[in-house]
Amino acid sequence: AMIVLSTYSRGNWSRRIIMESGSIMNRRRVVITGMGVLCANGVNVAEFHKALSEGRSGIKEATLFDTSAYSFRGLGEIQNFAWPDASLDRASQLALAAAAEAVEDAGIHSVNRDRGRIGVVIGTTCGGVTSHERLVRASTDGCDADAVLLDEVSLHVMAKHIADRYE
């Protein structure tokens, strides 16, 4: 496993490995071959880079839920996004879209890949939040838990969907 720090400064992207696991005797070099971004101020690497260069924020008025009960109604929401598989949680849909860009950028989409040499690492503090909300509502209403919703709530779900897609 490794942690890569990507930074943007003075019009340039830089990437640097800040931590690598493994014994001293068995370290391998790691190459970042592709990047994918899907965020509120850019739905691909080029748009994100341009927004950062211009100092544009992605904070806008929320459209995914009613914010009338809150004094601040803005958030960093990815708007006008649709994924063909609506059964997946929105977090998984967004992760898959960013992964698709990274795979395309890397040029590994049509190459015979060695599965033991390619990994998926995603940093997150939660799994599928919208699935978690639906699960809580269902249990509050006395309904049984849906196995698909249970799977979409787990922390590893986004990496799982990406790994399954590019297996």
Give the per-residue pLDDT at 109: 60
Distance between CA atoms of 95 and 143, rounded to whole angstroms?
29
Do 89 and 126 touch, CB atoms closer than 8 A? no
Give the per-residue pLDDT at 54: 93
Give the per-residue pLDDT at 4: 47
Stretches where the chain sits below pLDDT 70 are 1-30, 109-115, 117, 125, 145-150
How many of the other CB atoms lie within 10 Å of CB of 76? 12
Q: Which two tokens stand for residue 119?
A: 């990994």
Give the per-residue pLDDT at 46: 92
Give the per-residue pLDDT at 110: 58
**pTM higher than 0.75, yes or no?**
no
CB contact burial 36-61 (16+ within 10 A = b; e otherwise):
bbbbbbbbbbeebbebeeeeeebeee
Give the per-residue pLDDT at 74: 87
Distance between CA atoms of 68 and 49, rounded to whole angstroms?
32
